[in-house]
Structure 1
Amino acid sequence: MPTQDHMKQTLQAYVDAFNAGDPKAIVALYTDDAVIEDPVGNPPIAGGAAIEEFYTNAIAGGAKLTLDGPIRGSHGDRAAMAFTVDVPGMKIRAIDVMTFDADGKIVRMDAHWGPDDIET
């Protein structure tokens, strides 16, 4: 199982790569068969190619991430972060929960946000 420190560093690397406009660096943090559900309740996006397309589109839309507090670890295989997505014309307040495999790669990302978390 990955350590809390590793999981927190991975989530910080995720934010840094996103803000640097580097979808390939984000995808490298995931396993090849990872799944993202963004937001929870939407159909899952699975696999490296689909995940890279998702992040490429988000970055191309001008989105930037700002952490709202420290990244949180767990006693298990998950870590979470509360952040704001700044997209031109709106802000989305979200909490992402990432699940890690034994090698420290992300196997699942669940994004928690809903209509009340969008500010225009």
Structure 2
Amino acid sequence: MVDTKVIKSVLEKYVELVDVGDIDGILNLYDDNAVVEDPVGSDPHVGIKAIEDFYRNGLGQAEASANLIGPVRTTSANEGAMAFQVKIKMEGMNMLIDTLDVMELNDDGKVTSMKAYWSYEDNVEQLA
């Protein structure tokens, strides 16, 4: 079982790394066999190579900033959730995404599952 302080630290670190666009740092948070579903309902990215491609082809191609908009919530079952916002400039589009990410960690403190809860219809604001 992972201490809730570790869960909180990993989730906070994730937002910090998204904020500075540190793809390698983000990838270091994940287990090699992790699954990312971002947003929930899209095809999941399974395994570190697919996850790397997802981040490099998305966040890695954009100007982005991110910040928590509330405290990280943890469980005693190796999971945590956080609400945060991501501002993205990509291919001439400026967007603000409100997301709630839920992550599950293994006993080594590595993320094994990440699900991002947001949709273009309800959680994305086009910015000027």
Q: Secondary structure at the match of 1:9?
A: helix
Ranges in structure 1 where 5+ consecutive residues have no aligned partner: none
Report what 1:70 is aligned to: 71
The letter of the residue matching 1:90 is M
Moved more, 44-53 or 29-38: 44-53
Tell me how far apart the structure 1 counterparts of residues 60 and 69 of structure 2 sit (CA, whole Å).
19
Q: Distance in 1 between matches of 2:50 and 2:95?
A: 25
The alignment status of 1:110 with 2:115, answered yes or no, reads yes
Deviations 1:28-78 (A, max 9, x none): 111001000000000000111221222223132112211111111112110
In the other structure, the counterpart of 2:101 is 96
RMSD value over aligned CA atoms? 1.1
Q: Percent identity?
A: 40
Number of the residue aligned with 1:19? 19
Give the aligned length. Answer: 120
Structure number with higher strand proportion: 2
Q: TM-score, normalised by structure 1?
A: 0.94
- Distance in 2 between residues matched to 1:54 and 1:62, nearest whole Å: 15
Distance in 1 (alpha carbons) for counterparts of 2:75 and 2:27: 23
| TM-score w.r.t. length of structure 2 | 0.88
Unaligned runs of 5+ in 2: none
Question: Which residue number corresponds to residue 119 of structure 1?
Answer: 125
